Structure 1
Amino acid sequence: MSFAAEAHSDVPTLPSAHSGIPAYLLEKARKEKEVIFETRTKPQNERQRLPVVPQGIERDEFLKALAELKEQLGQENVEINDKPLKDGWYMEHPNTHDMMTILDEEEFVASAIVYPGSTEEVQQIVLWANKYRIPIFPISMGRNLGYGGAAPRVRGSVTIDLGKRMNKILDINAEDYTCLVEPGVSFYALYEAIKERGLEDHMWIDTPDLGGGSIIGNTVDRGVGYTPYGDHWACHSGLEVVLPTGEVIRTGMGALPGNNTWQAFPYGFGPFSDGIFSQSNFGIVTKMGMTLMPNPGGHEAFMYTFPKEEDLAPLIDIIRPLRISNILENVAQLRHVTQALAARGRPRTEFYSGSGPMPSEAVHAAAAKTPVGDHAWAYYGMSYGPPQVRAHKLALVDAAFRRIPGARRIDPSTLPADEYFWARDRVARGVPDIHELRWVNWQPNGAHIAFSPVSPIRGADAARLFALGKEAHERYGIDFFPAFCVGLREMHLIVEIVFDRADAGQRKAALACLRDMVDEAAKLGYGEYRTHLVLMDQVAGTYNWNDGALMKFNERLKDALDPQGILAPGRCGIWPKRYRGRGWEMTRDSGERSEGNGVDLA
């Protein structure tokens, strides 16, 4: 498909495509796509390619092995990656590489893609990979954007695309408020299924900012949403897992034949093993249970703005007791004005054409012209329950927030329908959206990569992290987009670095800035909760208490569960024995090359 044809092709929809958009968002998705392609200047890759063969296997043997796998799964379910790499966009993303690459797009690239249709076929693929010692990299839907997308960590790995054929909602239990899903079920799809069953007034889902990702993929990577059920990993119950040697286990109550509480009680009997399958390379999750939220009987979104950057520390100290006591009920967001401006979806050049970070006076002048008006911070929240309950809680919030001089509560009736506030309103009541893509349009060929440290909910910590990030962005000439997501007793600072992926200078600056922030934050005691493929070794290396005891433990688990070292080598910095000590780890000193010097063939 040509660049022009791709720009004007229609958006895939549910239920015709498992990765499609629901009907209520179709027109909005079409507009989002149009704006993305408006500023795209990166030429389509038309280079003819040979498949990248993973180190440790000869090309002829690799092609012979793929032919064998085609016989087992069917020709149509094994694709060799020998075509030009197409970036697509959120709703039509590639499963061959990272569409938002921070390196050369040929670094993290798959050799082939396979599409299993069942847990049994996943087992077949794993046994095949062990036979030939070929690295495999499972994805649910490949929409982990900002963290590597669908790309494998080891160049030439065979990607297992679980979502295309394993996309069934196996159960929705209206009495227990639970569901059981396969990897290809998106938040969009689960929301639509609940509506189709007439249960939308009975139960809610919890969705992240964008609803097109896999529920399983997001949860095992410990992603978050924005209702009181926002900690997705805490809300899962029950896994079915294919181990790297091909065995299948069910965790928790699922290990008891004929049980009926697999999605209701996560622990079962004995050690709770689920944790080793989150952010790891210890198994492939093929089914997962999830708890759903009862309709709280009412909801009311609210928004406050605060005028000064210096308001951050006292505001966080006001938020902490309100959040811990659940007066502030949901995983809410405190966003900086620069990202709020970018969320309007227009290019940076419409507001400022100079080089370096956009000056504060230019940011505030542009913000003053928006419906929300000028501010430094905006808090987006949601109150739940009957009117009288909401009124009581909102009065407490209002009194507390107005202790910040110049605090304003925004009247939603003054905001147009396309204002970002309404996207936060929808997400906080469990309605998936697509609005969050807009700030990526800040740069042409917009891509993003995230800095995501965790800290206590304390003003001093927020101010320290804000200053660290701002100084690093000024060093590298990058606009600073900080947002604090406040949990019950911790908060995530999510800093999105938006860059032009066609500009090698911007890619290099973004990566260097991120590496600086990771190291500087670690020295102050702040660790990343999640990171991009290129940074996994660096981030894992910061968790080095007691001479790296945790990584040594993870490596022992890896060697025991995956003796051939075939499953997602290097994911989250965990390398199998046959890769260790061969230069596969990516650090600041290793440059931008993702590959090491061979693998142990013994």
Structure 2
Amino acid sequence: MSGASPSSVQISSAYGQLAAVLGEGAVLGPGSDLSAYEDPYAFGSSAGFRCSGAVLPKSVEEVRAVLAVANRHGIPLWTVSTGRNLGYGGAAPRVNGAIVLDMQRMNRILEVDEEHGYALLEPGVRFLDLYGYLRERRLKLWMSAPSLGWGSVVGNALERGIGYTPHGDHAAQICGLEVVLANGDVVRTGMGALPGANTWQIYKGGYGPSLDGLFLQSNFGIVTKLGLWLMPQPGGLTSCVAHFQRESDLEAAIDVLASLRRRQIIQSNAQMGNVVREVAHRYPRSRWYDGPDAMPDEVIEKIRQDLGLGWWWTLRFGLYGDEELLDARFRIVQRAFSSIPGAEITGQKHLASGPDGLYACEVEGPAGRLAGVPGFFALNALKFRGDDCGHLDFSPILASSGREAVRVYEFVKARAREHGIDYLAGFTASERHLTHVFPILYEKRDAEQTSNAAALLDTLIKELGKQGIGEYRAHLAFMDLIGDQYSFNMHALRRLHEALKDALDPNGILSPGKQGIWPAASRRQRAGTR
């Protein structure tokens, strides 16, 4: 594949052949409505990431047919599961003129094994679909869902997405993949390579090197099936909310939380947010402030007074198990957070109504996400800055240390204020690290706000990267920038990625540029990115 976009002759010929093998209804060529494959929050240079069309296969054989056409014509494909990766580019491709390989019609739940606690899924299965399947059949299993439930279970796991049950590290629940390589070869990893094995979704290792991780956030193949471990439903859940009065409580709160997570007293990802983040999900900013700059401290204080908020930080998490375990864990958590003056913690118990354990559908309201119930509450924040709000996500990984959290918090807060952006600070605590999730909100119709949002993200990535703090996930426009920061030993990791890319995809047709991994013929494109 050349570094340039495909020619009109190549595109026309390719679409004709694709329509012949897939059928007209599965091919959206030039002239079709392709708005679903644009970044809904496009800004500056990212507005140029446009596809020439899309194909929607329904089977592995159709995926292989698409690959044959793409290889023949040297046309890049950009693979999406359902294209809901909002804040990171949506379904738009990194390379102009690419064909989006949209996997949403491959949406079968192939198997759910209640005894061993796993599902085998195709890429088009949404969190809403899997939840509905488990609920309708009264299966004694819980899934885990991210903040928005409309996306692909497979796509989210492959992008290392997170949820809020004890299975909230979605990538860690992967057990066995089916992958179509660029040449059309179909590979099953782990025990899936052994014909007749019934342990494909039970044992991760298989025989020889473990390869599942090669296909996370990569462009080395197209995942067509994914095994995912599910959680046996517990006897009960205590949904907990903790409040901390002062902005300066962040360090102590994170240190206590980190200890509780490492000791597995708190079993799920715990999410902590500042008062601006909490308010943004419930009220429009204009209720208190309509200036073009970031809300001043006095405005934030007025919001707290108007709403009667006696706290600055809110922490949400779940405790799981039989009632005796819930009570014991809650006492330990209360005792731990009592070391922070003024800290308040409340818990609501949700107990099983029968001997089979607590069904996720029995957990109602906001606590539902702690039981893996898909929701859409996070969308509320998109009304905070205006009726047509866009967002970019800044998602660096930090050590689970209060001192580290404060250092990053103060740095990001200052940079956000310099760029006129309100700081919706959030920290998601796993057992050993924090993911600092900052949705950078801006009014899409305001050119200055849009430019400031992109400039802020650029600044944060560059400046924190110099301090050894890197993002785990990236918007299309920043993939190369972030990839460049992982530079140990003269970019040895990138050279390894490129060697794998060239071996597995010599024509460079699979998602070129994803995560900064380019095929040989188009690596010069890096020079033209941010």
Whether these two folds match at TM > 0.5 is: yes
Equivalent pair of 1:238/1:266 in contact (CA under 8 Å): yes
Find 2:509's aligned residue among 566, 572, 579: 566
Amino acid at match of 2:204: P
Aligned twin of 2:18:
69
Find 2:380's aligned residue among 421, 438, 458: 438
Equivalent pair of 1:457/1:490 in contact (CA under 8 Å): yes
- Is residue 2:442 matched to residue 1:503? no
Equivalent pair of 1:54/1:111 in contact (CA under 8 Å): no
> Which gives a bigger RCO, structure 1 or 2 (Cα 8 Å, sep 6+)?
2
- Secondary structure of the structure 1 residue equivalent to 2:522: coil
**For each residue in 1:305-327, what CA deviation from the matched residue of structure 2 results, as whole angstroms up to 9, or x when unmatched?**
11111111111111121110111
Aligned twin of 2:113:
173
- Is residue 2:282 matched to residue 1:341? no
**1:54, CA displacement in angstroms?**
9.2
Aligned equivalents of 1:332 and 1:197: distance in 2?
29
Q: 1:286 to 1:235 in 2, by over 3 A?
A: same
Q: 1:585 to 1:331 in 2, by over 3 A?
A: farther
Find 2:85's aligned residue among 144, 147, 162: 144
**For each residue in 1:550-581, what CA deviation from the matched residue of structure 2 results, as whole angstroms up to 9, or x when unmatched?**
00110111111110011100000001111012
Aligned twin of 2:299:
362
Equivalent pair of 2:272/2:428 in contact (CA under 8 Å): yes
**1:409, CA displacement in angstroms?**
2.5
Find 1:465's aligned residue among 395, 408, 412: 408
**1:443, CA displacement in angstroms?**
2.0
Q: 1:75 to 1:367 in 2, by over 3 A?
A: same
- Secondary structure of the structure 2 residue equivalent to 1:322: helix
The root-mean-square deviation of aligned C-alpha atoms, in Å, is 1.8
Equivalent pair of 1:364/1:375 in contact (CA under 8 Å): no
Equivalent pair of 1:169/1:190 in contact (CA under 8 Å): yes
Percent identical: 39
Aligned twin of 2:352:
none
Q: 1:85 to 1:271 in 2, by over 3 A?
A: closer
Aligned equivalents of 1:443 and 1:84: distance in 2?
29
Aligned equivalents of 1:178 and 1:586: distance in 2?
41
Aligned twin of 1:592:
none
- Is residue 2:134 matched to residue 1:194? yes
Aligned twin of 1:220:
158
Aligned equivalents of 2:496 and 2:73: distance in 1?
27
**1:584, CA displacement in angstroms?**
5.4
**1:85, CA displacement in angstroms?**
5.9
- Is residue 2:481 matched to residue 1:538? yes
Amino acid at match of 1:243: L
Aligned equivalents of 1:274 and 1:181: distance in 2?
15
Gaps of 5+ in 1: 1-52, 87-93, 414-420, 588-602
- Judge which range, 427-436 or 401-410, deviates more: 401-410
Q: 1:442 to 1:325 in 2, by over 3 A?
A: same
Amino acid at match of 1:498: L
- Is residue 2:507 matched to residue 1:554? no
- Is residue 2:8 matched to residue 1:59? yes
Aligned equivalents of 2:47 and 2:408: distance in 1?
34
Aligned equivalents of 1:422 and 1:512: distance in 2?
40
- Secondary structure of the structure 2 residue equivalent to 1:206: coil
Aligned equivalents of 2:83 and 2:304: distance in 1?
34
Amino acid at match of 1:355: P
Amino acid at match of 2:473: R
Find 2:342's aligned residue among 406, 419, 424: 406
**For each residue in 1:35-60, what CA deviation from the matched residue of structure 2 results, as whole angstroms up to 9, or x when unmatched?**
xxxxxxxxxxxxxxxxxx99353212
Equivalent pair of 1:365/1:374 in contact (CA under 8 Å): no
Find 2:395's aligned residue among 434, 452, 456: 452
- Is residue 2:308 matched to residue 1:376? no
Gaps of 5+ in 2: 350-362
Aligned equivalents of 1:585 and 1:278: distance in 2?
25
Aligned twin of 1:239:
177
- Secondary structure of the structure 1 residue equivalent to 2:520: coil
Amino acid at match of 1:443: R
- Is residue 2:98 matched to residue 1:98? no
Aligned equivalents of 2:280 and 2:365: distance in 1?
14
Find 1:182's aligned residue among 111, 122, 136: 122
Aligned twin of 1:418:
none
Aligned length: 515
Amino acid at match of 2:83: G
Aligned equivalents of 2:315 and 2:59: distance in 1?
44
